[in-house]
Chain A
């Protein structure tokens, strides 16, 4: 089984140092990059599947050159190799362009499954994977809480979380699956994994390598533009209540009543 996991380097949300550059684009130099948290769940799911029935995992990233360092951590978790699409044209790519480039990169590979994260913490809206699946005409299974591929029948079963429980979906492979945290906590890289990751291959690909026409792609072709930024309105001062439980409860009820919430 060959699984491709889509992983994106994002500014570390815990560092809380993100900012926009003068062009209103994310200043990627301002904060340390980490693997997007939701992508680690996808990788963990892939690792478990490969551990259970054999196979290989390729990480696929579209990112500026520095992205390779971030990818090492994901390789240390156990992925087999990485592919990074980097091209100066791609800075400032929108959803459409990101999906097109990742689809082109996937088009060069043979795989059984593509796993993606639910969304990216740097402002992504969880829409890129559906775009990739549509471009490649791949069966698309999202919101996955369980993934059961069957090599024999060439089909995959997925539990898709719904507002009231879950649906069981079934599709032929290759297919693209969007993962959730319900698949299980990502592992920490072992020392052995970290050592092994140093020599794992990260293949760099430019648009020309993918045979993609750069004219419809990247920042210059972006369909969206930031017009303005502002700070959110500051929240009002915090009222702190100490006292007996009864006083605390009364304070809550009064507060809610004053604000006409109850």
Chain B
């Protein structure tokens, strides 16, 4: 039986990354449509916790314990082990996240296997014996659907493309050892630094509260963070705010930052420049607070509150608090 593979990515603590639970859910849907099996691969020095979790989504998980993965950059090691497992059948489909680790795996895996790559999928269906991959291009002006000429290939999946859902049954785990020595150079990790106040990853957040130049400074971002906390969301920012040093680059959304697709995007003091828009326009709901009713964001937001954010936001915090009771 043909296999739809999903590469399990790991969080820092060894648990399964959220994007992989979504990719695995998608793999299962595709496998059902294709009459194939959905299977996962986890590569780590200790793959057990991620493999156990992945097995709640797909019917089979190859769990590779690779001691080399300790103290070394994960992606190229993972790509090589995945290549060993999936072989070189050009009809093989592999799903992986579209974040930094997933991209690195996809590029190396393509070079190792000769499989093609379709990137940043916002939806995948099964059609004509292969995956049909939807992508948003040209800053969201167009949606393309693409396929692989060989009916198989590697697909990087944007976070929040599907809602993760565990399967009714738990898949079997096949423990495995690496089958040979690595041909790609390993890169040593000599130090791991956790930055104080490192914020929740914005790519995966259901709700993002973002601040722009209108927020005025680092102190203003504390206000943004309070709204995010009240809504159980993450904090995002425009490049103007990042360049000013009010918030780290990891929170930047847009052309040179991250592309996000939350259910709610609350934009505070953000004009909505094209380079910002391309990073957030596929959000389910966009709400903006802006002094200027003619700011470009008013052209694509669902709700615009015209007003000073330093007045509207405190009132919003009170209203949310009152609602929470």
Q: How does the 8 Å CB contact mask read for B280-312 relative to A, with 1 for contact and 0 for none?
A: 001011110100010000111111111110011
The smallest beta-carbon distance between B148 and chain A, in angstroms, is 6
Closest Cβ neighbor of A172 among chain B residues? B185
Interfacial residues of chain A within 236-255, with CB under 8 A of chain B in the complex: 236, 238-243, 245-246, 248-253, 255
CA distance A233 to B73 in the complex (A): 40
Cβ of B59 < 8 Å from any Cβ of A?
no
Q: Is there an interface contact between A140 and B183, defined as CB atoms closer than 8 Å? A: no
Given that A165-B195, A169-B190, A181-B249 are contacting pairs, would A142 and B116 also be in contact in the complex, using a CB cutoff of 8 Å?
no
Given that A164-B194, A166-B195 are contacting pairs, would A99 and B111 also be in contact in the complex, using a CB cutoff of 8 Å?
yes
Cβ of A168 < 8 Å from any Cβ of B?
yes
Closest Cβ neighbor of B256 among chain A residues? A181
Cβ of B32 < 8 Å from any Cβ of A?
no
| Cross-chain contact of B189 among A128, A168, A225, A226 (Cβ < 8 A) | A168
Cβ of B146 < 8 Å from any Cβ of A?
yes
Closest Cβ neighbor of A250 among chain B residues? B319
What residues of B have a CB within 8 angstroms of the CB of A240 in the complex?
293, 298, 303-304, 306
Cβ of A121 < 8 Å from any Cβ of B?
yes
Q: How does the 8 Å CB contact mask read for B104-116 relative to A, with 1 for contact and 0 for none?
A: 1111101110111
What residues of A have a CB within 8 angstroms of the CB of B285 in the complex?
255-256, 259, 261
Q: Is there an interface contact between A99 and B110, defined as CB atoms closer than 8 Å? A: yes
Q: Is there an interface contact between B107 and A123, defined as CB atoms closer than 8 Å? A: no
The smallest beta-carbon distance between B46 and chain A, in angstroms, is 18
Q: Which of B48-56, B131-139, B169-177, B211-219 touches A?
A: B131-139
Cβ of B7 < 8 Å from any Cβ of A?
no
Given that A96-B110, A96-B116, A134-B184 are contacting pairs, would A262 and B146 also be in contact in the complex, using a CB cutoff of 8 Å?
no
Q: Is there an interface contact between A141 and B73, defined as CB atoms closer than 8 Å? A: yes
Closest Cβ neighbor of B323 among chain A residues? A253
What residues of B have a CB within 8 angstroms of the CB of A138 in the complex?
185
Closest Cβ neighbor of A233 among chain B residues? B143
The number of residue pairs between A and B whose CB atoms lie closer than 8 Å in the complex comes to 302
Q: Is there an interface contact between B144 and A125, defined as CB atoms closer than 8 Å? A: no
What residues of A have a CB within 8 angstroms of the CB of B201 in the complex?
163
The smallest beta-carbon distance between B324 and chain A, in angstroms, is 9
What residues of B have a CB within 8 angstroms of the CB of A19 in the complex?
138, 142
Closest Cβ neighbor of B118 among chain A residues? A224
Q: Is there an interface contact between B107 and A127, defined as CB atoms closer than 8 Å? A: yes
| Cross-chain contact of A96 among B114, B136, B256, B284 (Cβ < 8 A) | B114
CA distance A64 to B110 in the complex (A): 24
Given that A231-B143, A245-B308 are contacting pairs, would A167 and B194 also be in contact in the complex, using a CB cutoff of 8 Å?
no
Q: How does the 8 Å CB contact mask read for B72-83 relative to A, with 1 for contact and 0 for none?
A: 010110010000
Q: Is there an interface contact between B255 and A121, defined as CB atoms closer than 8 Å? A: yes
Cβ of B318 < 8 Å from any Cβ of A?
yes
What residues of A have a CB within 8 angstroms of the CB of B243 in the complex?
185
What residues of B have a CB within 8 angstroms of the CB of A163 in the complex?
11-12, 198, 201, 250
| A to B CB contacts below 8 Å, 21 in the list | A13-B274, A16-B274, A119-B103, A126-B100, A131-B111, A133-B107, A140-B184, A142-B75, A161-B100, A165-B194, A167-B193, A171-B185, A226-B145, A235-B286, A240-B306, A242-B293, A242-B307, A248-B306, A249-B319, A253-B323, A256-B264
Which 9 pairs from chain A and chain B are nearest by CB?
A: A125-B119, A223-B116, A130-B107, A249-B315, A134-B111, A127-B107, A165-B195, A245-B311, A248-B305
